[in-house]
Structure 1
Amino acid sequence: MGEPSPLLRLTPLVRRRIYRFVGVAPWDHQQPHKFDLQGHDTGTTEQPKPSTFHGLLLSCRVIYSEAAALLYSANRFFLHYDHASLVLPDRPGPLAPLFALTAASLASLTNLTIVLNQASCHHHFGFGGYYSRCCLERNEIGSGLVASWLCEKPHAGGHHDLPLLAPNPIKPKRDGDGNNNHTDTDTDTDAQYAAAQLVLAAWRSAAVRLSYITSGCLDLGLVCDIDPQHERAIEVARSVITPLTLIPQLKDFHVRLCKTRDPRLQEVAQDAVSQVLRIPAAPYSRPPTRTTLTSLPRELRLRILEYTDLITPSREVTWSRQDQGYVIFYRDSQRSAPDREHREQFSPCLGSQLTRTFIGCFCRRRHAAFSLRCTCWAPPGPGLFLVCRALCQDAEFTFYSGNHFIIHDYKADPCWEVPFLGLWGRSQQGPAPRYDYPSARFAASQFLRDVIPPHCLPYLRFLELVFPPYLPQSWPRAGQPAMQDWLATVDWLRDKLNAPGLTIRLVGADIGDFTPDVYSAPITVSDVNAITRSYHELWGSLKPLGDNGLARFYAHFQSPWRFFGEPQYYHRVAMFPWLDAQSQELKETAERFVMGDRYEELYADGREEPHESFWTWTHYAQY
């Protein structure tokens, strides 16, 4: 028998420091390392590779026991279902790495995410291993494709898994006369269900293996994206949840059942978290009287509805053409501390998980998923709107009157990213393209005509119309289809809006810290004049609403002269006071034009303009 390792002569505390030094565990407990149990590269650059400490684990049984306990208790682990193992006989089972762990290692495990199927990437790591973005977020390159570079690490070639139960888009052509369509459909459905059963069988075996974990210590994530259109989607979703009963009590649990939002699968996910974490349901007690919400006075009903999701944490809702949905922004350090503390309870996944503590995307705003860590605001579901007509009307009034609505002409974040620039807008190679405003409508026109129900237009109390920093010839101008459509929209709105109760803010967004350099390239006098004429067209279009009694109107446009002439920084710094005066003159000109004789009332008696909206903190990178 050989001599014991000199390492064992050291105290356990010193040995643990050595284990951390070689990368078995991080020094910072708040930033655990992330390892893929299949050995795939997670893309992190600041953590050591498993190969750096693999030899230590093989040195002797005692050291392995200590180091393995630290390794599995201090780090995050990911395990992906290996679909290739079903067709390649030389490959181990689809979840084989989990069965390779010893019982002691499983008992030490504190954080594990099992990805049975991901139709969009569950987790991403950008530079330095930090979370980048959910890959469902559109990167408008060319025709609006999801950026494939985000998917290179978890998917070879940028491809995602098909949703469970989804039909194969590449279906081999059958021989014959093609008269057996009904039979083919039934056969395909059975094949999809059979394939799903293979995944579920492997997951049940894995759940049995997880019975070795220590009760109350494991934070478990489960991802299984299912096709919500399949007739057996709910049945399969419940089958995904059932094996969890075989696992001891979990410390925390997160589940995702679909890459996009689906109310039925969302309900299954939420119920699963409540059952697994044993969250007690609110006790039901019969009310002493027959009083209901609808029987209360309307004033009281409206006050109650203000405490639901109808009012966002920031009281601001953003809509853009590219996002095709409501989003919200949160940052504003100028607000009072109590108000800020309330908003931070609802901080979005993207904002609160930018560090390496990110557990993967279980965001209920993006997916049919549920996790107690996701506090994102999501647009209210149909429940309140379907109870009865009176409550539906109250809910609509609360939502549209209680929030500020910010309409971005293209994309909300970042609002300078416009699709028609294509790859040139990112690489900034070659001369600037010359193009007209590309769309036949403004996003504001689409929102006011197509998104808001016409009977809800009088409820609006605050509208902010944001136009991104276009290149000079791209600003909308008189005579173009979009401007003509917008003028028609304003005329249509005159007898539908409650103008005396409405505030409008018109914004021509300035460039921010991360805006591509092309937007700050030097321009000519002709370009300055073209931009200025577009400014006049935009605020001039709102004159009919001012004449109709608009309560307040504010304008923010940057002087286009800031990009004229020499691009050197010192040259522009010297012009800052003059440029600020030019911007202030544009603001006053616009507000006087729209409000007319009532302009002086805007700031009379110490009145101030409403604070900047939250989107500006993201756009101008004011963190």
Structure 2
Amino acid sequence: MRAMIAKRKSTENGHHNMRSFLDLPSEIRHRIYKAAGLVVGMNLRLTPRRDDTINLRLTPRRDDTGYFGFQPSAESLCITSNLLQTCKAIIPEVASLVYSQNTLVVVHEHVRFGLEFLRCLSPQQCSALTNLVVQLHLEAPVLGDDFTELEPTPPLDSALVASWQAAARHILSHTRPQTLNLRLFCDTGVGDTTAAVLQPLRDFPGVLKDCELQLHHEKNNNQARALAFDAATRAKGFDPDLRAQPFRFFDLPAEIRRRILEYSDLVTPFKEVYWSASRGFRIATALIRCGRDECDTQLHRGCHFLFCEPLNSLGAGYVCCRRRSAYSSRCQCWVAPRGPFSASRSLYEESLQVLYSCNRIIVVPSKGLRSCLLPDGVRKRLDASKFITRHMWPDVLHNLRTIEFVLPAFDAAYAPVSDELYYSDFRFAIDHLKAYADEPKLSIVISITSPTSIKYGGADDMWIFRRFTGGDSVALRSYAQLLSCLKALQGMRCFFVHLEWARHWTAERAPDFNHLMYSKVNKMESWLEKMVMGQDYDSEAAGKSEPPSIWLCEIRNTLEHVRWRQLPEEQMLTHI
């Protein structure tokens, strides 16, 4: 009983001793600050106040901090400003939270003011910094602000370089090791000026947690890219020379070498490589930028290889190694894999195996998806035939695993059934493929397009239905004759036929809309597949229900752009 009474008195005395807000534990105070509306998780752009250009207290205006969903409310800014003007006991604590929970951005329009602001930070505030962006010198808009025009940038003179060096040394000398992420934009290329800008980073090796450097606004300056890698690597405490040392790659087992190459850019973002006789190789990219949570699930799996922009980069910019001469450990953007093909003959052969076995090879018509095979007085070969016999070496054909032929639409008055040259040439190409391909591991997909539906936005969805089930059966006979050449490959792993039109894979397709049309088209596809593989072949069991190739998904997103903005079809794809 006495123990309980003593404990109660001790508790009561503790409550009586807690007389002010500062008596609360620091964790509780921090939670109260944030619940009250303290600005956190924002990009705070350092700009001078209109009424006092030398006041360095952090009082960001509403139009100076972030954009869109990353812009704090006026109430949050007011609360933050008030907290920074309370008392000497609270101001340092709130300032440390502001510096540690937000990203400070020195914008190029007010770079001198921003650097002076950094120089005036106390050692305690410097140690609290976790994210810092410095737009020291820009020749083009930072990628996060590409939609805005770049205001004239003052020249990077010796005085500005000295100001940057003083601010950088002040920050780096007081920051806690491995806590600060620095993103520096300095589009000065390779030279003495850049060397002077990077000198503070070299003087404090191993201090930064991460370092992103952009040294040229163009993307093909290899010297600037190498210099950025060297400086950033040393600033993070690593030895960049380790990368330059030779590595006996072929001492590794073949299985390990294969896995390493599969994690390189030899595998494209969507695992699809496009080829046509007129344009060569290219990859598909989404015309519409990544929508994050609202992005199409079929397309989103490749977004982080095409768009490395962080979610909160608006107002601060981000460093992309594919679009600029820069270094960033966060950038995973896909670039053309030229290195493995020029290092050695052995690496070249193994790279070809990975390229053609891990990607879906799609042969599209030279005139585009909206092309139609018409009599023009000149006999031309199909792109599919050219790819097999003219472009692919026999030993490369053995590496193919999935190949898709997008056939041009056949005009009723002029189809391969009336021209034996198309048929005989394609048959020769298929015989050549059978002679050299690994038939049991090979999958072939035939896509037959509807250019009328694609061109006019799917307004005529019944076009393909009337074309194959109406009185015009010439088209169906033409495709059947052409595909009969594939009977020589009955031992392949699987074979699919897709009769495609604009709205086939779109969300607008209703389950009960034109049910007869869809069932008839499915029967025609099945008939063509069984004609090649045999009557016992079941394409659905073989995996035909899997999502279509990306070019079909992109029709849904690019259709309105093609119709209303008259964009050329080449913008649907990106050259390697």
* TM norm. shorter chain > 0.5: yes
Partner of 1:221: 183
Partner of 1:62: 89
Helix, strand or coil for the counterpart of 1:254? strand
Structure 2 runs not aligned, ≥5 long: 1-18, 48-59, 287-299, 557-576
> Conserved in 2, the CA contact under 8 Å of 1:302 and 1:398?
no
1:241–1:119 distance in 2 versus 1, CA, 3 Å: same
Selected match of 1:253 from 211, 215, 224: 211
What amino acid is aligned across from residue 328 of structure 2 in structure 1?
Answer: S
Partner of 2:329: 372
Question: Using the alignment, how far apart are the partners of 2:383 and 2:257 within structure 1?
Answer: 30
> Conserved in 2, the CA contact under 8 Å of 1:215 and 1:250?
yes
Partner of 2:226: 267
Selected match of 2:446 from 506, 514, 532: 506
Helix, strand or coil for the counterpart of 1:59? coil
Partner of 1:348: 304
1:90-149 deviations in whole A, cap 9, x for unaligned?
Answer: xx557444335444322211111222345565453xxxxxxxxxxxxxxxxxxxxxxxxx
What amino acid is aligned across from residue 98 of structure 2 in structure 1?
Answer: L
> Conserved in 1, the CA contact under 8 Å of 2:265 and 2:336?
yes
TM-superposed deviation, 1:591? 2.8
Q: How does 1:66-465 map to 2 (within 5 A)?
A: 66-82=93-109, 92-93=112-113, 95-118=115-138, 121-122=141-142, 124=144, 151-152=146-147, 155=148, 158-159=149-150, 200-211=161-172, 212-225=174-187, 233=190, 240-247=197-204, 249-258=207-216, 259-260=218-219, 262-279=221-238, 304-308=257-261, 309=264, 312=267, 316-319=271-274, 325-326=282-283, 348=304, 355-356=311-312, 361-376=318-333, 378-382=335-339, 384-406=340-362, 448=387, 458=397, 459-465=399-405
> Conserved in 1, the CA contact under 8 Å of 2:530 and 2:537?
no
| Correspondence 1:584 to 2:522 | yes
TM-superposed deviation, 1:253? 1.9
Question: Using the alignment, how far apart are the partners of 2:346 and 2:461 within structure 1?
Answer: 58
Partner of 1:34: 43
What amino acid is aligned across from residue 277 of structure 1 in structure 2?
Answer: K
Helix, strand or coil for the counterpart of 2:135? strand
> Conserved in 2, the CA contact under 8 Å of 1:310 and 1:395?
no
1:120–1:278 distance in 2 versus 1, CA, 3 Å: same
Partner of 1:181: none
What amino acid is aligned across from residue 344 of structure 2 in structure 1?
Answer: C
1:311-356 deviations in whole A, cap 9, x for unaligned?
Answer: 5398923448999744689xxxxxxxxxxxxx99x98266887644
Helix, strand or coil for the counterpart of 2:208? coil
Helix, strand or coil for the counterpart of 1:269? helix
1:142-164 deviations in whole A, cap 9, x for unaligned?
Answer: xxxxxxxx634xx3xx34889x9
> Conserved in 2, the CA contact under 8 Å of 1:494 and 1:548?
yes
Helix, strand or coil for the counterpart of 2:403? strand
> Conserved in 1, the CA contact under 8 Å of 2:230 and 2:240?
no
> Conserved in 1, the CA contact under 8 Å of 2:204 and 2:235?
no
Q: Name the count of aligned residue pairs.
A: 475
TM-superposed deviation, 1:275? 1.6
Question: Using the alignment, how far apart are the partners of 2:120 and 2:390 within structure 1?
Answer: 54
1:314–1:109 distance in 2 versus 1, CA, 3 Å: closer
1:409–1:61 distance in 2 versus 1, CA, 3 Å: farther
What amino acid is aligned across from residue 317 of structure 1 in structure 2?
Answer: E
What amino acid is aligned across from residue 253 of structure 1 in structure 2?
Answer: C
Percent identity among equivalent residues?
17
1:518–1:41 distance in 2 versus 1, CA, 3 Å: farther
What amino acid is aligned across from residue 495 of structure 2 in structure 1?
Answer: F
Structure 1 runs not aligned, ≥5 long: 27-31, 86-91, 125-149, 165-193, 228-232, 330-342, 419-434, 468-474, 511-515
Selected match of 2:497 from 555, 558, 568: 555
What amino acid is aligned across from residue 204 of structure 1 in structure 2?
Answer: Q
1:418-462 deviations in whole A, cap 9, x for unaligned?
Answer: 9xxxxxxxxxxxxxxxx9779999997799499967677524332
Structure of higher CA gyration radius = 2
TM-superposed deviation, 1:236? 6.0
| Correspondence 1:48 to 2:68 | no
1:562–1:108 distance in 2 versus 1, CA, 3 Å: closer
1:405–1:51 distance in 2 versus 1, CA, 3 Å: same
TM-superposed deviation, 1:266? 3.4
Question: Using the alignment, how far apart are the partners of 1:199 and 1:323 within structure 2?
Answer: 48
TM-superposed deviation, 1:11? 6.0
1:35-76 deviations in whole A, cap 9, x for unaligned?
Answer: 222353421335335742223312333332121111001112
Question: Using the alignment, how far apart are the partners of 2:386 and 2:185 within structure 1?
Answer: 35
Question: Using the alignment, how far apart are the partners of 2:413 and 2:158 within structure 1?
Answer: 56
Helix, strand or coil for the counterpart of 2:238? coil
TM-score under structure 2 length normalisation: 0.62
> Conserved in 2, the CA contact under 8 Å of 1:221 and 1:254?
yes
What amino acid is aligned across from residue 224 of structure 1 in structure 2?
Answer: C
Question: Using the alignment, how far apart are the partners of 1:323 and 1:362 within structure 2?
Answer: 30
Question: Using the alignment, how far apart are the partners of 1:476 and 1:63 within structure 2?
Answer: 73
1:606–1:120 distance in 2 versus 1, CA, 3 Å: same
Question: Using the alignment, how far apart are the partners of 1:160 and 1:451 within structure 2?
Answer: 51
Helix, strand or coil for the counterpart of 2:133? strand
What amino acid is aligned across from residue 269 of structure 1 in structure 2?
Answer: A
Helix, strand or coil for the counterpart of 1:574? coil
TM-superposed deviation, 1:478? 3.4
Report the aligned-residue RMSD.
5.8
1:442–1:112 distance in 2 versus 1, CA, 3 Å: farther
1:501-551 deviations in whole A, cap 9, x for unaligned?
Answer: 4432234799xxxxx998355x37567546998985995696376266473
Helix, strand or coil for the counterpart of 2:96? helix
1:458-511 deviations in whole A, cap 9, x for unaligned?
Answer: 2433223569xxxxxxx8553999x99x9699689557644564432234799x
What amino acid is aligned across from residue 581 of structure 1 in structure 2?
Answer: S
1:244–1:499 distance in 2 versus 1, CA, 3 Å: same
| Correspondence 1:17 to 2:31 | yes
Question: Using the alignment, how far apart are the partners of 1:207 and 1:406 within structure 2?
Answer: 51
1:558–1:455 distance in 2 versus 1, CA, 3 Å: closer
